[in-house]
Structure 1
Amino acid sequence: MGQTKGSEMKQELFLPDDYRPADDEPFMNDRQLEYFRRKLHEWKQDLLSDSRDTIEGLQDNTRNIPDVADRASEETDRALELRTRDRQRKLVAKIDAALRRIDEGEYGYCEVTGEPISLKRLDARPIATMSLEAQERHERREKVHRDD
């Protein structure tokens, strides 16, 4: 029989369905962390489910299409779908990184300045690693270097 490791088992934190992180509570308290953990897990599950559906669809649609225009159209659709899946795969990696930051106590803080990232920004983009100001500076620098 296996042993239960008490210290490794986390107690489920109760969050009401209508809970939203608020600025008037301590930043990244247990409720906020649980809120973002659940949001990230749900997002990841949705992406993985979509990915499974795509793979099944691509396998089902492998057929010989005699018309050249129809075949080209189907190949274009397939390429677009695969590109979308690749973007989603990268997104899943970012979600996993955000979940790691939650576990390590680093979630919600800008990787550039160390300042808290606004709750509004995190709610809209829970994988954000920079505050809005740091992100804008980063994008301006990137644009300048791209124009060289």
Structure 2
Amino acid sequence: MSSNKLLTEAEILKMGDKDYMNEAQLAFFKHRLEQLRDDILKNADQTTEHLRETVIVPDPADRATIEEEHALELRTRDRERKLLKKVEQSLARIESGDYGWCEETGEPIGVPRLLARPTATLSLEAQQRRELRQKLFGD
């Protein structure tokens, strides 16, 4: 297999357990995470430019609508800022060889879960246990 050709999701899902987090899978997830990072950074730049545009609106209702849109945009960017941190941590985990393995149990997180949530650091079972503990004990 050429190192330049990335696998597709279907090809990754067909792979057996012995291929888990091999070089091809890591390259796929690294590319996906880098794309996500680039999209987040592009959105942040667009928001900055959009918020810099000064629009003078005499109507108070229109002004309130614009302010609400700006507030929503800022909340969205804040969520993306937090996601960006997780993306950077995931890329670091790829470099260190820890990507795809549960931080809590050391078990594989699983390709389907990583396809759905490439920044996952816990297996589905470990995540469910953590959420149950938080629900029970309010951690």
Listed as ranges, the gaps of 5+ residues in structure 2 are none
Q: Is the 8 A contact 1:15 1:35 kept in 2?
A: no
Listed as ranges, the gaps of 5+ residues in structure 1 are 1-11
1:84 to 37, 56, 76: 76
Partner amino acid for 1:87?
R
Does 2:13 align with 1:13?
A: no
Q: Percent identity of the aligned residues?
A: 46
Q: Is the 8 A contact 1:115 1:131 kept in 2?
A: yes
Deviation at 1:54, TM superposition (A): 1.3
Q: Structure 1 residues 127, 48: CA separation in 2 closer, same or farther (over 3 Å shift)?
A: same
The structure carrying a bigger helix percent of its residues is 2
CA distance in 1, matches of 2:3, 2:85: 25
The root-mean-square deviation of aligned C-alpha atoms, in Å, is: 1.8
Deviates more, 1:31-40 or 1:62-71: 62-71
Question: Scaled by the length of structure 2, what TM-score is found?
Answer: 0.89
Count of aligned residue pairs for this structure pair: 135
2:119: which partner in 1?
Answer: 127
Question: Scaled by the length of structure 1, what TM-score is found?
Answer: 0.84
CA distance in 1, matches of 2:123, 2:134: 16
2:65: which partner in 1?
Answer: 73
Does 2:39 align with 1:37?
A: no
Query: Which aligned runs of 4 or more in structure 1 are off by greater than 2 angstroms?
Result: 12-20
Matches of residues 131-142 of structure 1 in structure 2 within 5 Å? Answer: 131-142=123-134
Larger Rg: 1
Deviation at 1:68, TM superposition (A): 1.4
